[in-house]
Amino acid sequence: MARFSLRQLEALVAVADTKNFNRAADYMYLSSSTISNLIAELEDRLGFPVFDRTTRKVSLTVAGREFLAYAVSVLQQMKVAEAAAIVLKEDNVRIVRVAAPQVVAATLLPEIIAAYRVTHPDVRVHIVDSSVISLSDQIVNGTADIAIGPEQQVNQGISVRPLFESRWILWCHPEHPMSTQSEVSWSELRPHDICAPGSDHEQSFANILNTLEPSARFQVSEIVDSVTTALGLVSQNIALAITPEFVNQLGLHKHLLQLPLVQPTQSRRYVLYSQSDLWVSDPVQGFADFIEQFVAAKKLS
């Protein structure tokens, strides 16, 4: 594995930003020769040049441009780690990291954190944005302590605790032809443009589609990463959107209409992921228990 230092990555970013070794040296309070040596060492460890150099211009190579994004990400994460260390040192705050997909991170999780903070002000809960399929990976690789999201197959050593089930609903614009209906069957979706948030949603519909006659099966016309993007399309009457019901605060805020999806009525199970074979800290265990209590009291659907 290539071993490179944070100083080398900082030099890479400085030269890329300033497009000049001398200006990068001034920015980092180093000599030009030191900057040159840092870049040379980095290139030696990577095995490819990151800059094309001429007497007049310095520019990133194709590989250098690709690697720069990773270098920036590493440095940003280091800043987050440094900030966390300062908080832990000065305030004696305990940290819990919770991975969640956007649909949970934007709706349910902030509400849980706010309620928990009332009785546990010494525990700081950080949200780790994640795709649905990467939730258990976030715990395995140490990025998160626990995770909340739709039920998925998990890695070995991950335990799954059921939280709630939320039925699928349809969002439509008040002027859409379906707005006058009290409910919508899945087969009625066939002639319409359907948007689903999350790359795993199409797979989630597979069991539902298999219950329909082939002539009645619909296709998702657009898959987007964010539920807010999907609801944005609905707000302009461009498409219909399918989401779990528990995110209804996002759609109602945009004055959209929500309709139950029936024939069949289906729901999606949301669970809590955690380590099953490792000791967890008291703050992590305490917050995990609180999540279960909060969801049970809220009676989510």
CA separation (Å) from 18 to 26, 31, 50, 173? Answer: 10, 15, 15, 48
User: Which CATH architecture describes the domain 6-79?
Assistant: Orthogonal Bundle (1.10)
- Report pLDDT for 277: 64
Return the domain boundaries, the chain: 6-79, 89-163+269-298, 166-268
263, two tokens: 């024939």
Written as tens digits, the pLDDT of the chain (301 aa) is 568 899 999 999 999 999 999 999 998 989 999 999 999 999 999 999 999 987 778 999 999 999 999 999 888 888 877 766 766 665 555 789 999 988 898 889 999 999 999 999 888 898 998 888 888 888 887 788 899 998 888 777 788 999 999 888 999 999 999 999 999 998 899 889 988 887 666 666 767 777 778 877 887 888 887 888 888 999 999 999 988 888 887 777 788 999 999 888 888 889 999 887 665 678 888 999 999 999 988 876 5
Phi, psi angle pair for 274, to nearest 5°: -155, 170
Dmax (CA) of the chain? 72
- Report pLDDT for 2: 61
- Report pLDDT for 199: 63
CATH of the domain spanning 89-163+269-298: 3.40.190.10
- Distance in angstroms (rounded) separating the CA atoms of residues 124 and 115: 12
Helices of type H across 141-281: 201-204, 206-210, 227-235, 248-253
**pTM above the 0.75 mark?**
no
Q: Is the peptide bond before 264 cis (omega within 30 degrees of 0)?
A: yes
- Report pLDDT for 81: 78
- Report pLDDT for 275: 83
Q: Domain 166-268 adopts which CATH fold? A: D-Maltodextrin-Binding Protein; domain 2 (3.40.190)
DSSP 73-128: HHHHHHHHHHHHHHHHHHH--EEEEEEE-HHHHTTHHHHHHHHHHHH-TTEEEEEE
- Report pLDDT for 103: 84
- Domains 6-79 and 166-268 agree in fold: no
